[in-house]
Amino acid sequence: MNVDTLTIPGRCLVMGIVNVTEDSFSDGGRFVEVDLALAHARQLVAEGADMIDVGGESTRPGAVRVDPETELNRVVPVIRALHEEGIHTSVDTMRASVAAASAEAGVSMINDVSGGLADPEMFAVMADAKIPVCLMHWRTVQFGDAAGNADHGGNVVADVHQTLDELVARALAAGVSRDQIVLDPGLGFAKSREDNWALLNALPEFIGGEFPILVGASRKRFLAGVRRERGLEVTPVDADPATAAVTAVSAHMGAWGVRVHNVPVSRDAVDVAAHWRSAGAYHG
């Protein structure tokens, strides 16, 4: 299975985010977590998501890593159930063991925010699974917590280009095929506000490259910043309209997909961009 299998002809793909984490209103039991995640995933699909990104470990600033077994027990049942319902999923993991178990359970894509670097077995698992993979840019000393700003050598765009090229080379050397690969500039991962905007400004360069591009701007701090700059108090959810704006522009520029929490607004944005782009065909 290659990326073409997932690509939506004529428009940008909408990936809805489902984080399977302990629920503060439940006893934290695994079945409750899984049931809540499934209900959320089905709702996102009904709202227009094309696939569901399932994660069992947060990388938000301040996050601590969960143990591999907990992560696996969170994501695999959700992936298996959605697969049985005919819903495409990706697994958001930095662990080869979790990626392999997810592939067994029918996951359609491996989404690794470390770009295959956090686990020495990851590229081999990606090659064996023969399914699409997303390699994301994240320059860090230790994977786990996306906080802080890394040194991008004074030019974040050049750094992301170069690092993604290196990740692709390593993946190919491990047996991953070119048509499996999606790339992601990794907005918000050890990047300053300016870094994130510079990467969005350079999006056409990334989209113009060989590999499909996934954009993950949803509810990131730099986006909440547009309201904060106007003196407003903001929570991550308040960045949903700004996220939809990023979706519209990214989709119009030809991004392969967007990874979002609020599906309805981004699906609207994607559909607007699709109409906008295709209307050229009817215009003198």
State the residues that interact with ligand PMM by CB under 6 A.
17, 19, 58-60, 92, 111, 113, 134, 136, 184, 186-187, 214, 216, 219, 259
Taking the least distance from each CB to ligand PMM, the nearer of 139 and 259 is: 259
Residue 262 contacts residue 245 (beta carbons within 8 Å): no
Distance (Å) of CA 65 to CA 62, 94, 164, 188: 10, 10, 24, 18
Taking the least distance from each CB to ligand PMM, the nearer of 62 and 231 is: 62
What is the rounded CA–CA span in Å between residue 155 and residue 194?
11
Taking the least distance from each CB to ligand PMM, the nearer of 20 and 113 is: 113
CB of 111 to ligand PMM, least distance (A): 5
Taking the least distance from each CB to ligand PMM, the nearer of 77 and 185 is: 185
CB of 189 to ligand PMM, least distance (A): 7
Backbone angles phi, psi at 64, to 5 degrees: -110, 145
Rg of the chain on CA atoms, in Å: 18
What is the rounded CA–CA span in Å between residue 112 and residue 94?
5
Active site residue 259: yes
CB of 138 to ligand PMM, least distance (A): 9
**Active-site annotation holder among 11, 191, 259, 267:** 259
**Active-site annotation holder among 220, 227, 228, 277:** 220
- Convert 189-221 to b/e letters by CB count within 10 Å (16 or more is b): bbbeeebbbbbbebbeebbeeebbbbbbbbbbb
What 19-27 contacts at long range (C-beta under 8 Å, 24+ apart), as own/partner pairs, is 19/55, 19/56, 19/58, 20/54, 20/55, 20/56, 20/74, 20/75, 20/78, 21/56, 21/58, 21/74
CB of 22 to ligand PMM, least distance (A): 15
Q: Which residue is nearest to ligand PMM (CB)?
A: 216
Backbone angles phi, psi at 67, to 5 degrees: -75, 155
What is the rounded CA–CA span in Å between residue 68 and residue 271?
38
Taking the least distance from each CB to ligand PMM, the nearer of 84 and 194 is: 194
CA 259, 262, 266, 268 dihedral sign is positive
Taking the least distance from each CB to ligand PMM, the nearer of 60 and 65 is: 60
CB of 220 to ligand PMM, least distance (A): 7
Active site residues: 220, 259
